Structure formats: structure tokens, C-alpha cells
Structure 1
Amino acid sequence: MHIIKSKFLFLFIAFGFMRLSAQADFKLSNFSLTPLAYNPAYAGSNGGISLTSVYSSQWVGFPGAPKTILFNGHQAISDRLMGLGVNAEIDKRGTEEETKLVANYAYHLYLNNYWQISMGIKAGVQNYVVDYSLLSIENPSEFIAGIGEQKTLNYIFGTGFYLYNKNFFIGASIPNLIKPNLLDSRNSIISQQSMNYYLSSGYKIYTNENIYIQPTFLTRLVKGAPVSTLISMNFNSKNEIYASANFEFKSSIGLFAGIRIYENYLFGYAFDKSITKFNSQNNGIHSFYINFNIEGRDNRPCSCYNF
């Protein structure tokens, strides 16, 4: 088989395996900076208004490499007792394109003067498209999925919580309790994602009044796939300069740097390098961040993450 056809076939098999085994696609290192994407209880946690946009290009230099555009927006309301948010995602992977639009709601409850708990729900839709015409199929008549674009609309309903104070947080979530399906031209199920479970925690260690470091972890559990755990060490100086180093077991290492200008705007860049046997076949993962934040930077009620 021609070398180009071989590459496309490899990508199709690889992405198909990820879909069948329910491996989530977005890197944990990006998820750690956009927690609303997987935990609705994060909505309103900054005490103000926060808008974040991310562009991520994975496996640079590899044919059909994943590209993701992510938007998160959330706001605290009702004297910071509730939060509303929305997240949208466009994820392209070889022959696949996945689009999500999700609304989030969270309620923040005071347990005492020191601890709070937030409980959230998310609901939305997922449009999943596979364009089989981009593949080189030797016998199209025997390909049961059908040739051309196949579209599947799935619904999303998820939940999560955070237990937190000014320095510590722990959270758990299931972003979608409804297993998404991929349908063929006859509306028969040819694959189904399993549920993703997330667990996260972190603790702020202040070196002085304005500077702290925050070790965190984010773990993703999916049936049929290896456990993924990201360990991060985050640095924050006066809520103006941000930095982070991360390590995902048997997957990647990475760095993030960001600076806030004009008080409300943060610009950041992250680079992750694969430490798997494919590291020589790609040029890493490049991610660009823009965040707009008002009211909540200096007196945020939740210690969860930096933004």
C-alpha cells in the first residue's frame, strides 16, 4: 500500500481504537487550566466573571493530528452563592470532528466559616461527524459504516462537586452520564464511549502574601483505558505572572507560562512533549490561552486553580 494510504489507515485505526476504548481526546494538561470543561461545580468559583479561550494543536507534524478550540465562560451570581457557565468545544482528529455546546450551573454552600462545597450540573449537545471519504478504502461496498459523512447527535448531562477553602480543594465529576454513540448510515451503533470520571485536588503554599505555589493532580478514569494522572506544580505571583510544570505518567511533560496585562487580560502559552515511543514522530503539543477576568482575581472564594 502507498505510504500516504498507510498513514491514513494507521490514523483511522488509532483514532478508532481511542473511540472504541473510550479514551478521552483532550490532553489533561489543557483540562487542568479549563476545569469547567469537565466539572460544572467550577462555575462561579472565581467570584466574578471569567472568559477563557484555548487553541491547542497536538502531535504537530503528524498527519491528521488533533486540533482543538475550547471556550469557557462563567460568572458568580446571587452574592456568589451560585454560578452560571457555558463551555463550547470544537475538536478535529483526522477524519473526525466533534462539536460540543454545554450549559453549567453550580450552587456554592457554606458548611462553616472555613469550608464550602459546590455542586454542579451540566447539560448540552454533542455533534459527532466522521468523513469516511477521506480514507482510502479498498472495497467500499464491504464497508458497512457507509461512505461519506456520518453524523451523530448525542446529548450531554453531567455532574460534579468541589469541597474547598482558601487553600485546599478536592473535586470529583462525571462530565457525561449519557454514553455517546457513533452511528453508521443505517443508524446502527458501531461504537460507544464509556463514561469519564475525574478526580482533582490541590493545595496553596504561600511563600509570602502575594506569591504562592500550588501542587495539584488531575486523574481521569475510563473503562477500557489506562488511568491518566497529571501532576502539576503551579506558580502565581500577585495574580499577574503564572507558570506551571506538569508531568502525565507514561504520556508527556509540559510547561505553561502566562502574564496578565491591563489588569483583566491574561495571555498564556503551553508546550507539552510526548515521552512515549511516538515522541520522535511529532513536535509536541502547542496551546495558546486568552483569559478575561473581572472582580474575582484578588478575593476568589475557591482555591481551585489559578484563573
Structure 2
Amino acid sequence: MKARLILILLFVSGCAWAQQDPLYNLYQFNQLMVNPAYAGLNNILSVSMHSRVQWLGVDGAPVTNAISGNTSFHRNRHGVGAWLAHDRFGINRNSELFGSYAYHLPLSDRWRLSMGFQLGLINYRQDFSELDLEFDNDPLLANQQPGFTKSNVGTGLILSTDELFFGLSIPRMLDVRTENGSVISTRYKRHFYASGGAVLMLSSFVKMKLSTLARIVDGQPFSADFSSTLILGETLWLGAFARNFSTVGVNAQLDITETIRAGYAFEYPTTSLATNNFGSHELMIAIDLKPLTFQYYKRRYF
């Protein structure tokens, strides 16, 4: 009950708290929803599905489902992608649909620069029937707008080789505000992302991947993920990570075949919230295809 009350206070009072982007642990296996420059970067047609349950056991905790796809074209000089996501958090029901385009510029035999842009729609909806109200005609909620749709745009850059990458992005550049009489509520504030990663050769059988993702939001605490993953025989990925050192977790990916990958992640908070939930769980499955003649399967780490 205490956890439920906290969630209601945080996520109903939009004038005090701006909604943040959904969290993903397995973003490192598909960065399209964080950075549009990822579209087509691996010169393959890739489709992936993600499902995440955060803070299992807490009423109103976030549940996110997403499907995305991206491919290269024109001999890998261009990429396009699209993704659809639904996020449920407290009484919020948000759905997003974005399309992405990226231009891939070779800088040398090793380095390439991808510049991306995305455009999409976000539907924000609140289900007030989920609230247990003391008064049916609560004046605080009487004039609330139950739902609306806004367009948004985003951009990003990725500088990479086969073993290194650095990224900067703003997936949604426009703040979203609503008005209710004289009260202006901020429903969303733009997020700035910076990412990086490297793969180190430990032996002919074992590689280590180090990566990080930092998020900056005006008026919100700085957030950063740090992860370390062992890659065994180019088939099994076993990783550990920390987010702000207040959440720790593990993840794994199995390359079932050359074209099919599956992943799982588990997170657990180290704060007082740990006593109220059974951790966060995320599943991912992805399929890679090469329908175009210039596309090919290759070992990729990002």
C-alpha cells in the first residue's frame, strides 16, 4: 500500500514531475529506441521485441512492451527504422510510434559516422478508473485531460568501428506541456543521452565488452548505466551492470542461430524499495535477415 501511494503521488501529479523515458536494460543489443543513428548501422535487416516488467510486485509499477525494426539500403550508405512501444506506469498509458532515417558516412577503412533523425507520434493517456478516490467528483481530477497525442522529433550521432562506438542523441527534442486552467503541467522533458562501448580480446574464446549509457534530464538526477559483458565463443553473452549504484543486475544473450538471438535481464534495487518488490525483468528476442544482395551476416557487438 505504501509503494502504491508513492507511485500515485509521483505519477498523477504531472505539474510537479515530468515523465521520463522507459528504461531498458537490453538497449545495448538494440539502440534504435535511444538513438535514431542506429538505423541500418549493421548492414542487416533486424527485427526485435522487448518486454519489461519493472519492480515486480508493486502496484502501478512500469510495464513496457516494444517492437522495432531497422535495415540498411543503397549499399549501406543509408538506413531506415521504425519502432512501436507501449508503456504503462501508474495510471499512465503511453504509446509511441517513430520512424527513423540515418546516413552512414565512411571516414576511413575502420571508422564510420552515422547521423540519424526520427519523427513520430506519442499518445499520452491517463486511466483515472485505476484510482481509489474518496470522493467520486474530486475537483482535482474533474478537469483533467484524459488523453492527447503529440508529435515529436529526435536526432543522434554514432561514431563507430567494429569494436568501438560513441553515441550522442536526443530521441525526443520537444518538451510536452498541458494546461488546465491556470495550471501548466510538464508531461515530458527532453532527455540527452551519451553512450560508449568497447570490445576487448581476452583470448581466442573470450571477449569482454564494456559499455555505458548516461542520461541527462533538466530538473532530474543524473543517471548512468555501467555494464561489463563476457562474450564466450561468440555465442553466449553474460553481463553485469549498475545504474547509479542504486540498481544492480545481470543479463544474458544467447545467439541461438546465426539469425536468431534471445536475451534476459534481471535488476534489483539496492535502496529501500528492495523490500517491496521482486526485481525487474526484461526479455528480448531478435531476428536478423539479409534480403538485399549487399547485406551480410557478421559478428556484431553493438
Shift of 1:249: 1.4
Corresponding residue of 1:76: 72
Q: Which one of the candidate residues 157, 163, 182 is aligned to 1:167?
A: 163
1:223 aligns with 2:223: no
Letter in 1 for 2:298: D
| Contact 2:169–2:194 (8 Å) recurs in 1 | yes
Please report how far the alpha carbon of residue 33 of structure 1 lies from its aligned counterpart in structure 2 after TM superposition: 3.5
Q: Partner of 2:298 in structure 1? A: 298
CA distance in 2, matches of 1:183, 1:259: 48
CA shift, 1:294, in A, is: 2.8
CA contact (8 A) 1:133 1:147 kept: no
Q: 1:254 aligns with which of 249, 260, 285?
A: 249
Indicate conservation of the 8 Å contact 2:228/2:239, yes or no: yes
Could you tell me whether the CA contact under 8 Å between 2:15 and 2:185 is conserved in 1? no
Q: Is there any run of 5+ residues in structure 1 with no aligned partner, and where?
A: none
Counterpart of 1:15, as a letter, is: F
State the TM-score, normalizing by the size of structure 2.
Answer: 0.89
Contact 1:259 1:267 in 2 (8 A): yes
Q: Name the SS of the counterpart of 1:35 in structure 2.
A: coil
Query: Counterpart in 2 of 1:286?
Result: 281
Summarize the Cα distance change of 1:239–1:187 in structure 2 as closer, same or farther, 3 Å threshold: farther
1-side partners of 2:114 and 2:198: how far apart? 17
- Aligned counterpart, 2:187: 192
SS of the residue 1:51 aligns to: strand
- Bigger shift: 147-156 or 199-208? 147-156
The aligned runs of 1:239-250 (5 Å cut-off) are 239-250=234-245
Instruction: State the match for 2:293 in structure 1.
Output: none
Give the C-alpha shift of residue 161 in structure 1. Answer: 0.2
Q: 2:52 aligns with which of 31, 50, 56?
A: 56
Q: Is 2:177 the partner of 1:205?
A: no
Distance 2:10 2:275 in 1: 17
CA distance in 1, matches of 2:8, 2:22: 17
Q: d(CA) in 1 for partners of 2:124 and 2:223? A: 24
- C-alpha distance in structure 1 between counterparts of 2:11 and 2:194, whole Å: 25
1:45-124 paired onto structure 2 within 5 Å: 45-124=41-120
> Which segments of 5 or more consecutive residues in structure 2 lack a partner in the other structure?
291-295
Q: Secondary structure at the match of 2:175?
A: coil
State the secondary structure of the residue aligned to 1:137: coil
- The amino acid of 1:280's aligned partner reads T
What percentage of aligned pairs have identical amino acids? 27
Provide closer, same or farther for how the CA distance between residues 266 and 96 of structure 1 changes in structure 2, counting only shifts above 3 A: same
Quick check: 65-74 or 231-240, which moved more? 231-240
Matched-pair contact (CA < 8 Å) for 1:22–1:222: no
- Judged with a 3 Å threshold, the aligned counterparts in structure 2 of structure 1 residues 233 and 13 are, in CA distance, closer, same or farther, namely same
**8 Å contact from structure 2 (residues 53, 282) kept in 1:** yes
Q: Secondary structure at the match of 1:233?
A: strand
Correspondence list, 1:148-163, <5 A: 150-163=146-159
Matched residue, 1:13: 9
Deviation of the 1:275 alpha carbon = 1.1
Structure 1 SS opposite 2:32: helix
Q: TM-score, normalised by structure 1?
A: 0.88
- Structure 1 residues 8 and 239: CA distance shift in structure 2, 3 A: same
Alignment partners' CA distance in 1, 2:52 and 2:60: 14
Whether the 8 Å CA contact 1:140–1:147 is kept in 2: the answer is no
**In structure 2, how many angstroms separate the alpha carbons of the residues matched to 1:40 and 1:30?**
16
Q: Distance in 1 between matches of 2:53 and 2:100?
A: 26
Q: Is the 8 A contact 2:11 2:19 kept in 1?
A: no
Give the conservation status (yes or no) of the 8 Å contact 1:131–1:149. no
**1:131 matched to which residue of 2?**
127
Aligned to 1:177: 173
Closer, same or farther in 2 for the Cα pair 1:155/1:236, shift >3 Å?
A: same
CA RMSD of aligned residues (A): 2.4
